[in-house]
Structure 1
Amino acid sequence: MHIKSQYFEDYTLGDFRETLGRTITETDFVVHAGQTGDFFPHHMDAEWCKTQPFKQRIAHGTLTFSVAIGMTATEINPEAFSKGYDRLRFIKPVHIGDTIRVKVTISEKTESKKPEFGQVNEHVEVFNQKDELVLVCDHILLANKKDK
């Protein structure tokens, strides 16, 4: 089921949307390292990584997070805005060549301190091509109410 809600009242607990896959490439690693300044060998040194437990380079956690969240941004909702993310966890490593997909589920609705808004929490799960959970977080939205 795809969410097409705009106002707080339109969000339904349990509704979800899923993305198609996106393969993480070496270019993603290099661009992200350049943008963030994180050139740690875990991400950039293939030979050094061969001596480590995972035996290959690991995607920056922030790379996986930013790509995954970008994948979910398919519709603009002018009645809601992001308040941030909570409980971000990197569950399993993502490597060059892995394909990730994202599932976003409406997990909570609460009143906001401002009566014209409601708070909506979206539980975000990122899976690799083996259907293994690699990242989780909660996205917090403030959504306008219909009856302000």
Structure 2
Amino acid sequence: MEIEQFFEDYEAGAQRKTLGRTITETDIVVHAGHTGDFFPHHMDAEFCATRPFGQRIAHGTMTFAIGVGLTATQINPRAFTYGYERLRFPNPVHIGDTIHTVVTIGNKSPDPKRKGFGQVVEVTETKKQDGNTVMYCEHILLVEMKETGA
């Protein structure tokens, strides 16, 4: 869905929640193949049975990709990604977990390098079915400002 929002239209504290997605073994295997990350914590059930989590865990990079991907239901032609900061994975994702992402508008400020643009920080938290946060990051958007004097 396309929504057209200028920098001035973003309100701190505004929030949206995505639909859920259940993580499968296929997700983990395909991600390992794409990235080359066949680390045993993701791929070796017998090894993982002896580790603290007791079972395979999803790649952090996969959790990030899917968690952020879930938010791509709103397309704003006035904004684009500048980057991500403060990326953390405080809890593991296992096969069978269902995740969703909550996006909260954090702070916003004029961009110091680009006249006519502002930075909007989306606090992005991916959670699983038990409510635990499995991924946290701050998504920085560059957003076009409204023309002055219009």
Q: TM-score, normalised by structure 1?
A: 0.95
**What is the CA–CA distance in structure 2 between the aligned matches of 1:75 and 1:128, rounded to whole Å?**
21
Q: Please state how far the C-alpha of 1:115 moved relative to its aligned partner.
A: 2.0
Q: Please state how far the C-alpha of 1:39 moved relative to its aligned partner.
A: 0.2
Q: Please state how far the C-alpha of 1:91 moved relative to its aligned partner.
A: 0.4
1:145 aligns with 2:145: yes
1:90 aligns with 2:89: yes
Q: How does 1:1-148 map to 2 (within 5 A)?
A: 4=3, 6-113=5-112, 114-147=114-147
- In structure 2, runs of 5+ residues without a counterpart are none
- In structure 1, runs of 5+ residues without a counterpart are none
Identity of aligned residues (%): 61
**What is the CA–CA distance in structure 1 between the aligned matches of 2:117 and 2:16, rounded to whole Å?**
23
The root-mean-square deviation of aligned C-alpha atoms, in Å, is 1.0
Q: Please state how far the C-alpha of 1:5 moved relative to its aligned partner.
A: 5.2
Deviations 1:55-100 (CA, angstroms, capped at 9, x unpaired): 1001000000000100000021110000010000000000000000
Number of aligned residue pairs: give it: 145
**What is the CA–CA distance in structure 2 between the aligned matches of 1:70 and 1:45, rounded to whole Å?**
26
- SS at 2:141's partner residue? strand
**What is the CA–CA distance in structure 2 between the aligned matches of 1:57 and 1:5, rounded to whole Å?**
41
Is residue 4–residue 78 contact of structure 2 (8 Å, CA) maintained in 1? Answer: no
Q: Please state how far the C-alpha of 1:20 moved relative to its aligned partner.
A: 1.3
**What is the CA–CA distance in structure 1 between the aligned matches of 2:70 and 2:56, rounded to whole Å?**
22
- SS at 1:72's partner residue? coil
